[in-house]
Amino acid sequence: MLLTLDVGNTNVTMGVFRDDTLLGTFRMTTKLPRTSDEYGVLICSILEYRQIHSQEIDAVIIASVVPDIMHSLTSGVIKYLKVQPLIVSAGVKTGIRIATENPKQIGPDRIVDAVAGYDLFGAPVIVVDFGTATTYDLIGPGGVFEAGVTAPGIETAGRSLWGGAAMLPAIEIRKPSSILAKETVSSMQAGLVYGAVGQTEYILQKMKEESGYLEAKVVATGGLGKIIARETKSIDVYDPELTLNGLRLIYDKNKR
């Protein structure tokens, strides 16, 4: 079985595949400092709790945007799963050609999403990932990564809002019953959710106009993407497992 690890700024999302079938997904926080033993024990414990024996994991692939934890995480995987992980980095086969000014600046998470978007939905395709940052990546014919847009994530914007204004509380991010809010919490929810919807629609419109790919398919992923996808016709597909499937596809390309 294949263990995929998507290391983001907020969470490490794990997925276990048997061939092309995703057996389960799990999350743990990224920001807590951990030793290699802690990572190894935690990963094995999560797998065993979900009735997946750690001895059955015979391959691991990792994409990370948090370099600081990679030594401990990689060492934990090697020590406890007895597997040398494949790290998504320069030199790894992806099937995607990056045509930006500085390809090395494109994060591994965006490359993984691009692989999944292109392989699963064809091109041209725009992949939107609602994470700590909200990213919009355009993949053109032939699997060419042509352009990307980076905006603050919805939760990141929310934390900035209530962290920078003493009178505003921390809130749950969800769609309020009406945009015509009559109290503080729902007014903040309306601003965050409908603001993100408006941002999404306008950025996608401009990307299609300037690229000429007016019929490009739009695929969204990321935890809060589900809320936005429900509120706009600009998103064609919402796939919460897109990144994990991208990791699986990259592993398969390199295995062959």
pLDDT of residue 109: 94
pTM of the model: 0.92
pLDDT of residue 104: 82
* Model confidence pLDDT, tens digit, residues 6-55: 999 889 999 999 999 999 999 999 977 899 999 999 999 999 998 999 99
* Token duo for residue 201: 């629609």
Could you give the CA distance from residue 156 to residue 200 in angstroms, rounded to a whole number? 16
DSSP-derived pairing of the beta strands 2-7 and 59-64? parallel
pLDDT of residue 105: 85
pLDDT of residue 166: 87
Contacts of 213 (CB under 8 A, 6+ apart): 124, 138, 140, 207
Domain 2-87 sits in CATH at 3.30.420.40
Q: Is 20 assigned a catalytic role?
A: no
Q: Using a CB cutoff of 8 Å and minimum separation of 24, what contacts does 51-57 make?
A: 52/1, 52/16, 52/23, 52/24, 54/80, 54/81, 56/1, 57/1, 57/2, 57/3, 57/16, 57/81, 57/83
For the chain, the residue count is: 256
Residue segments in the chain with a per-residue pLDDT below the cut of 70:
256
Could you give the CA distance from residue 89 to residue 74 in angstroms, rounded to a whole number? 14
Domain boundaries, the chain: 2-87, 97-242
Taking only Cα atoms into account, the Rg of the chain, rounded to an integer number of angstroms, comes to: 19
* Token duo for residue 157: 């914007």
Helix count and strand count (H, E) for the chain: 7, 11
pLDDT of residue 256: 65
- SS3 of 238, please? strand
Could you give the CA distance from residue 76 to residue 101 in angstroms, rounded to a whole number? 36
What CATH topology corresponds to 97-242?
A: Nucleotidyltransferase; domain 5 (3.30.420)
Region of residue 143 (phi > 0: left; psi between -120 and 50: alpha; otherwise: beta): left
Q: Which of 109, 129, 137, 239 is catalytic?
A: 109
Question: How far from 175 is each of 69, 77, 194, 198, 215, CA to CA, in Å?
Answer: 34, 39, 8, 14, 28
Backbone torsions φ then ψ of 26, nearest 5 degrees: -145, 155
DSSP-derived pairing of the beta strands 11-18 and 86-87? unpaired
- Tell which residue, 124, 110, 145, 142, has the closest CA to residue 221: 110
| Identical fold between 2-87 and 97-242 | yes
